[in-house]
Structure 1
Amino acid sequence: MSQSEEYLSPQDAPSPPPEAETVFSDRTALASRYAGWLRDAGVVRGLIGPREVDRLWERHILNSAVLGEVVEDGARVVDVGSGAGLPGIPLAIARPDLRVQLVEPLLRRVTFLNEVVADLALDNVEVFRGRAEEKDIATAVGGADVVTSRAVAPVGRLMGWSLPLASVGGHVKALKGSSAQEELVRDARELTRAGGSAGTVLEVGAAVLSQPTFVVDVERLR
């Protein structure tokens, strides 16, 4: 029995909410299969907390996918510290025009990501094992149009890792909490030191989420 068969069956996949079709359109079934992975293998392997199962769609999958509202057509996107594939996999499902590269240092998470990408046949997704600051990762994925992440680190430290992976004129668009603006102000000196702009906070997903997703958007200037 393959691991996808072991962890997934039709009854295991959480039913998508009506909002999912607005975001994923004809790929909603694919997003639902990913939800099944998170609910089962994701919990068993410690990538998703058991308490998160009942809010997988709102808090994790849709929350990640709506990043696509502020990503240009055909962009190459690097997801730093991808973990269980958030936000990269929902983004890749919702936006098959994008090329999404998942960067994750931990082997057990990389194994999970590779299994999910294969099971969902996501030909626009690649998985890389390593840390954003490592030379090999910079060589493999550097020069990206967009670098993203979700709940990885405070803004200042995050930009030190992420901005070098973006092209000059490219952007870091990181999912953050409601204190995003305060983080930009607090870490302004670190953003400048890393070669970034002062940054702005964008709100996405207002049409499908009970609370919008906040995105810190910083351009690489040099």
Structure 2
Amino acid sequence: MAAAARALFGDRLDLAAGYAELLATDGVVRGLIGPREAPRIWDRHLLNCAAVAERIPEGASVIDVGSGAGLPGLVLAIARPDLTVTLVEPLARRTSFLVETVERLGLARTVRVFRGRADEAASGETGVGPFSADVVTARAVAPLDRLAAWCLPLAVPGGRLVALKGASAADEIAEHAEVVAKLGGGEPSVHLCGTDVIDPATTVVEIVRERVVRPPAAKKAPKRSRGGRKRAR
């Protein structure tokens, strides 16, 4: 595991170790990481996420949806200082941890934290954004159909969703490929990351945003008469 960590983090291994320490202490105390996960932070979380960096182009912008404790977004920012990363997370206690961690690790130049949902980040309706990126990442957030609906609008045209998945990746593609196409995504593909470094390798599903699909216009509420009843049409 030590050799894998050196291969994936290089000269930023000490920074990764600092993040691992924060996850194992503050992360557990604040309920972001389960107590049983603390001994497995490196193999199950950090190395698993860092391996995904091989699927991200040099100098890319990244949005991590449902970032939680920063997985995989913060890990990618540590392993790849050439990336600019936006962490999207709706829960206050998680965003507080993310903001503090970014500051403590000295990552504020390349990492920003947005408190809100993916659709809010894409629309800019909160007054911040809208955001878009070359690559949108997500880990253990939702099934592929919902994930594509949330994440593809955040990818620039030609950009892609890189979703960390498990053994069910192929089954999810078979089940949700039609929905993905309707959302403007290309044919989903499965890739194994870190095959020569970690075991098991990290499984990801990639979807290119081939076209922009506008969300359907909201239906107008039916008009009501002065007495409060709906008017007959």
- The TM-score with structure 1 as length reference comes to 0.90
- Partner residue, 1:3: none
Are the equivalent residues in 2 in contact too, given 1:101–1:141 (CA < 8 A)? Answer: no
**For residues 66 and 141 of structure 1, what CA distance do their matches in structure 2 show?**
29
Note closer, same or farther for the CA distance 1:57–1:200 as it changes in structure 2 (3 Å cut).
Answer: same
Query: What is the letter of the counterpart of residue 202 of structure 1?
Result: H
1:38 equivalent in structure 2: 23
Q: Is 2:118 aligned against 1:129?
A: no
* Post-superposition offset of 1:208: 2.0
Can you give the 5+ residue segments of structure 2 that lack an aligned partner in the other structure? Answer: 212-233
* Aligned residue among 161, 168, 179 for 1:190: 179
Give the stretch that moved more between structures: 128-137 or 205-214. 128-137
Tell me if the contact between 1:74 and 1:98 (Cα under 8 Å) persists in the aligned partners. Answer: yes
Using the alignment, how far apart are the partners of 1:96 and 1:102 within structure 2? Answer: 15
**Aligned residue pairs: how many?**
207
Identity of aligned residues (%): 52
| Alpha-carbon distance in structure 2 between the residues aligned to 1:85 and 1:181 | 26
Cα distance between partner residues in 2 of 1:147 and 1:137: 19
Which residue number corresponds to residue 84 of structure 2? Answer: 99
Alignment of 1:202-213 (within 5 A): 202-213=191-202
Contact 2:124 2:131 survives alignment (8 Å): no
Structure 1 stretches of 4+ with a deviation exceeding 3 A read none
Secondary structure of the corresponding residue to residue 124 of structure 2: helix
Given that residues 169 and 221 in structure 1 are in contact (C-alpha distance below 8 angstroms), is that contact kept between their aligned partners in structure 2? yes
Tell me if structure 2 keeps the 8 A contact 1:130–1:137: no
Judge conservation of contact 1:173–1:218 (CA < 8 Å) in 2: yes
- Cα RMSD (Å): 1.3
The alpha carbon displacement at 1:49 in A equals 0.5
Aligned match of 2:9 in 24, 29, 39? 24
1:160 aligns with 2:152: no
Distance 1:51 1:17 in 2: 21
- Give the CA deviation at 1:141: 5.1
Distance 1:34 1:137 in 2: 32
Give the match for residue 229 of structure 2.
none
What letter is aligned with 1:136? G
Q: Which has the larger radius of gyration?
A: 2
